[in-house]
Structure 1
């Protein structure tokens, strides 16, 4: 199959930000990743370039016939044939990891047409399967990724141990090989000073708290990714149920914090939302983190009914559209950092222009 152009992805907004999922005023998206390897092959870190290529071809054949991944309509990307800018687009759309795009040789990425499912070949493990959906719906995501896993395993013999479970490159993934996560927007807890003790409490439950781009990324725009850490000795459904319970508590805490802001600190929250809108609507230079924080302020205002004239879909699109790679791609040329900031501000002004 020929390498798909990222231009095809840019034609449509990402599906996990379409604001159609349960509790999507707080839960941005739900995601599950599965790590898998093929029996009798070394892990990617120990494989020769020839073996890596052989794995790539074998998994690609299985992916092309996986109906749950898109079948004949699946999009395929060859990182080694893509520019660094185009590879960065994949990261900003949460289709590929930093590690995957950093060393592109003997790697391949399959993406279903709506970007809700994807498969990285030869990342840390030979297969990294991902499904992502809008809102809080971990069980639906599990059903979807389980179908993809079944399709792939019908054509591949996974590395599996009867006692340990699925064998993976990193020992912390051995067992189910599953990482389940929910991306939460928690400005209420941040503004009321509750976020630090909340994160400490989450960590004690053996859950991980990361930023928008996963491992190694910081919080940006008050977006927190909460995921399981344990994969050994527990079933997939037990892991999902335990994470589900914690996420429900966090959603309720965020709702309580927002209610408290409206009842006890109304003018400060109105000022926060208004300043966020003003910065986005009237700035001529915007850094990435500054724009993300302002989008967070505007989003909480829309979700709390304080800014009814703003289309939430436009706000959601900006969370992806203001990424440096997306801006560079739309410019059709190389931009300096200052030019990127200028273009980011221009995009925000245009997207948030009042309706006539």
Structure 2
């Protein structure tokens, strides 16, 4: 198999991916001929990782059934990436929305530019991008539109198809961090962009504080966001949307011990990513910034997302753990970490001011 040869070839010594680590020759021989009930194969799962040897993980999942059929390798990748010994993710728990323990993390508005929480969801009767057809994407889009256009109250809004959207409109949405990009080689090799832009679109509520990406990586990405640091408001809005959708006839892919299933095994369980775009020029300039955030279970991203750099001390900080804890606790963990970062930033800022005053004196 050409893909396998790319992965194990002696010239690929620079490859340190979890795929290479856990897809042993014995496992490859055992799994290479297997097929899921959706028609997915091992090749569909590992194609991107074999073509992009520099990647960290290297394996996507062809469809929900793939988590069972290829569990021999995928389960070990999941445990390794998420740093867990067993796959015993708890049942969903959004917490007590009437008595949340968090609200606005930055009432002054000086540090937090915006707050955002998203979750991924996938229908349980369709495959993931490596095996999806154009007709299947279009069918999912039609089902999704019907659900979303029945939203009421502050979730009510409109759906915009990428097929009818101009390039200028798309670029404007990307620049304003509303819409997904189509420039990633890892995702491209995993067939994310097949039949582009058919079956893709974006739903906005009227205030543009809630949106849904349709057929990007996952079938759905539900996103609640707004300017400033009001984490409580952002979380409540997202939870209302989740409950509304799951109260319809829609069935999402789940597996006991793994929670909600997604295209990428790095994003399982809650699938929840709570983040703030935050100005921390003093903290981010510290040599131990990365370790500081890692100890708080925070993930650092640049101003423009994954694999980008910070701009003027502005970074995206989010919860790193998504598996093994509830949705509420994932947000709480992010909240605690961000508050510690804010405290440290203020301490460093004050120390710099004191030094400047001494120099003047």
- Decide: shared fold, TM above 0.5: yes
RMSD of equivalent CA atoms: 2.5
Residue in 2 aligned with 1:113? 206
1:188 aligned to which of 276, 282, 297: 282
**Structure with higher helix content:** 1
Residue in 2 aligned with 1:212? 303
State yes or no: 1:87 paired with 2:170: yes
1:36 aligned to which of 121, 130, 139: 121
Kept after mapping to 2: 8 A contact 1:175/1:233: yes
Residue in 2 aligned with 1:230? 321
Write the distance in 2 (CA, Å) between the matches of 1:57 and 1:87.
21
The offset of 1:189, in angstroms, is 3.0
Q: Indicate the larger mover: 209-218 or 142-151.
A: 209-218
Provide, for residues 189-215 of structure 1, a one-character-per-residue CA deviation record: whole Å limited to 9, x for no partner.
Answer: 35xx42x31222212444210012221
Provide, for residues 119-164 of structure 1, a one-character-per-residue CA deviation record: whole Å limited to 9, x for no partner.
Answer: 0000100000000123323233221101011111222111122332
Write the distance in 2 (CA, Å) between the matches of 1:251 and 1:168.
32
Map of 1:12-161 to 2, 5 A cutoff?
A: 22-67=107-152, 70-71=155-156, 74-99=157-182, 103-155=196-248, 156-161=250-255
Kept after mapping to 1: 8 A contact 2:105/2:339: no
Kept after mapping to 1: 8 A contact 2:112/2:279: yes
**Secondary structure, aligned partner of 2:159:** strand
The offset of 1:232, in angstroms, is 1.4
Q: Which ranges in structure 1 are unaligned for 5 or more consecutive residues?
A: 1-18, 270-356
Map of 1:275-286 to 2, 5 A cutoff?
A: none
State yes or no: 1:175 paired with 2:258: no
The offset of 1:53, in angstroms, is 0.3
Q: Which ranges in structure 2 are unaligned for 5 or more consecutive residues?
A: 1-103, 185-192
Residue in 2 aligned with 1:200? 291
Write the distance in 1 (CA, Å) between the matches of 2:270 and 2:233.
18
Kept after mapping to 1: 8 A contact 2:117/2:223: yes
The offset of 1:169, in angstroms, is 0.6
1:245 aligned to which of 318, 324, 336: 336
Alignment: residue pair count: 246
Kept after mapping to 2: 8 A contact 1:36/1:127: yes
Q: TM-score, normalised by structure 2?
A: 0.63
